[in-house]
Amino acid sequence: NAGVTQTPKFRVLKTGQSMTLLCAQDMNHEYMYWYRQDPGMGLRLIHYSVGEGTTAKGEVPDGYNVSRLKKQNFLLGLESAAPSQTSVYFCASSYSVRDTGELFFGEGSRLTVL
Amino acid sequence: GNSVTQMEGPVTLSEEAFLTINCTYTATGYPSLFWYVQYPGEGLQLLLKATKADDKGSNKGFEATYRKETTSFHLEKGSVQVSDSAVYFCALLDAYQGGKLIFGQGTELSVKP
């Protein structure tokens, strides 16, 4: 089973460039999340989705956009990348976080913005 | 708002030593609490959880007890192994608007042979 797959795993961008991170899950989960991980800051929630066609803002949504057109995919977009967006990005999914609290994480995508 | 605070790392221990990683939370009501572990180069995975006050979560020799009096959920293990070297995250469930996990800043544990 693939679980949660993130692409790409590594990317280097120049300031002002745009890109999209793709998250795909094959577990038929309703809930999907995008977090960023920075040293000393832990994981901070960027955006999340509680079902196909829905999205909501997390703690640090500025500079990012998301879409959930298909249940299995959750896209994170950076329209104009900034050095402050250099981070490791994690996607996660859950069948029912309110019942189990269990998130299944991808392996992460390391983004560097020069 | 809801938040989680963990003791700062890194924590370095010798094999077979006793481990405690402190975690306290601020929240409305009594949210479910979790410990996640991140091994090098991997995503996070659930280690244990407790859903109500005085519950004890346990897994792989790790334990944590939900203490509402002190709003704490400290992680303990009686005898750590080199393979326990990882980053440990405390988290709480914020059930508002569908549900999401709020994580602490993580504590890096390094166990030396």
Confidence of residue A54 (pLDDT cuts 50, 70, 90): very high
Rounded to a whole number, what is the distance in Å from the CA of A114 to chain B's nearest CA? Answer: 23
Is B102 in Cβ contact with A97 (below 8 Å)? Answer: no
Per-residue buried b or exposed e for A71-84, using 16+ beta carbons within 10 Å of the residue's own CB: eeebbbebeebeee
Closest chain A residue by Cα to residue B105: A42
Query: What letter represents residue A71's amino acid?
Result: K
Distance (Å, whole) CA A74 – CA A56: 12
Residue B82 has φ and ψ, to the nearest 5°, of -55, -35
Model confidence at A101: pLDDT above 90:
no
Contacts with A99 (C-beta within 8 Å, 6 or more apart), sequence order: none
Instruction: Tell me what pLDDT residue B68 has.
Output: 93
Closest chain A residue by Cα to residue B43: A107
Is B89 in Cβ contact with A43 (below 8 Å)? Answer: yes
pLDDT in 10s for each residue of chain B, 113 residues: 889 999 888 999 999 999 999 999 999 888 999 999 999 988 899 999 999 999 999 999 999 999 999 999 999 999 999 999 999 999 999 887 678 899 999 999 999 99
Is A41 in Cβ contact with B105 (below 8 Å)? Answer: yes
B103 → closest Cβ in A42, A56, A96: A42
Interface test with B, best of A52, A105, A109 (most B CBs within 10 A): A105
Is B43 in Cβ contact with A108 (below 8 Å)? Answer: yes
